[in-house]
Amino acid sequence: MSRMPAMLATLGCLLTFASPVPAASADEAATTPSVPTVRLYVRDGQLASHLFTVMVNEVVDQTMQPKLRLAGSHWMQDPLLIETQAIDPVIIAPHQTRTMTVDGQQISVEGTLLMFNLNKYSLHLYESAVRLLPRLEWNVSTSTAGQPKRVAVAEQEIYLGNMPGAALWTAVVMLLVTTAFIVWSKSKSKKITAFNPRPVLLLVTGPDGYLSLWRVQLMLWTYAVGSLVFLFGLVRLKIPEIPDSLVALMGMSLLTGLGAKVGSGENPPGPAQPAAVTGNASPVTAQPTTSAQAPAPSLPPPPSEQAKWGDLLSTWNSATGQVELSVPKAQMVLWTVLIVTLFCVKSVLDGVLWEVPWQMVALTGFSQAGYVGDKFVKGKT
């Protein structure tokens, strides 16, 4: 009988271990702490000459000692200096909201914005861009300073653009294109007998031997847009986004050239050809024109000795037989130089193709309309 209590105690212990543990209630599961998903957002195609910007969806401050590390592939070259050192931020801005592109979609991200200065980590001059994988490290608390507890890695590698290298390659390519144009112009200029051509300016010379304003404008826009598209294509190794206003400007330049040709009745002059003789027919002798049939006096422009830059600002007055300053041409020259220069400077400084305001596009259209309208009026006269 004395063994009965001991057996009952042993049986109770076995039942306790064998019984299932009750599941946690919904309230208890809600209070269980969970580790949030850390994501690092980095815009592709940033320039090494600008502040390198990253966004992390957590609150990070200066006491956490955040550091940026960049890693790249080393198939053909040794690691760069920028890959061997941890980079301290120059700006830390928590509680920020930015619009980021994720999987081709624009989303709003809230977190900490960090900016890093990469100017002292120079890249090779022959490199237009390098492929790197960014990661951000920071401490959870100040008690473990120097020991990173959290790491956020970008979802994919990004291109870090090197503006000096891209500018060098762009200059080389544009120089080769220009050289090809000059070689072609020299070969074609040998066949021109109507005027004395200048081979370097043959592409922008009209059929009368004078410089053509619309040709010069179209060439300026072609060089400016083409070189910058190639430049930013090298920086990001993909075709940059071209603004709609820039497409409109290029189209307006082409329409201006077409309108100028139609308005002025532009036809290439050629040497006088003798009248064709058929059989025994004799050439027709021109009869003197009577005063009733005499047209209004109109003096043709003299043959151009050689194309000059002054041709862009002047025009021929057939009534007076003199070269005069053309206000529509002067306005078009001034506006074209201003907007092309502004477009190039803004694009290089911003690191993207500048979206020309539509008000400036409209002003450019008015300037070109005045130039083409003047051509039509003189063509009718």
Residue ranges of domains in the chain: 40-161, 165-266+310-380
End-to-end CA distance of the chain: 137
Pairing of strands 158-161, 46-47: parallel
- Grouping H, G, I as helix, E, B as strand and the rest as coil, residue 192 is coil
Residuewise pLDDT in 10s, the chain (381 residues): 445 555 555 545 444 444 454 444 545 444 444 556 889 999 888 999 889 999 999 999 999 999 999 998 777 667 888 888 899 999 999 999 888 776 667 788 899 999 999 988 888 888 899 999 999 999 986 545 555 578 999 988 999 999 999 999 999 999 999 999 999 999 988 888 888 888 888 888 888 888 888 899 999 999 999 999 999 999 888 888 899 999 999 888 888 888 877 766 655 444 444 444 444 444 444 455 444 454 555 566 666 667 888 888 888 777 777 788 888 888 889 999 999 999 999 999 888 899 999 999 999 988 888 888 877 776 555
Residue 344's alpha-carbon distances to 220, 225, 336, in angstroms, are 11, 8, 12
341 φ/ψ sector (left φ>0, alpha ψ -120 to 50, else beta):
alpha
- Confidence (pTM): 0.72
Q: Spell out a b/e string for 258-295, using b for 16 or more CB atoms within 10 Å of the CB, else e.
A: ebbbebbeeeeeeeeeeeeeeeeeeeeeeeeeeeeeee
User: 3-class DSSP state for residue 56?
Assistant: strand
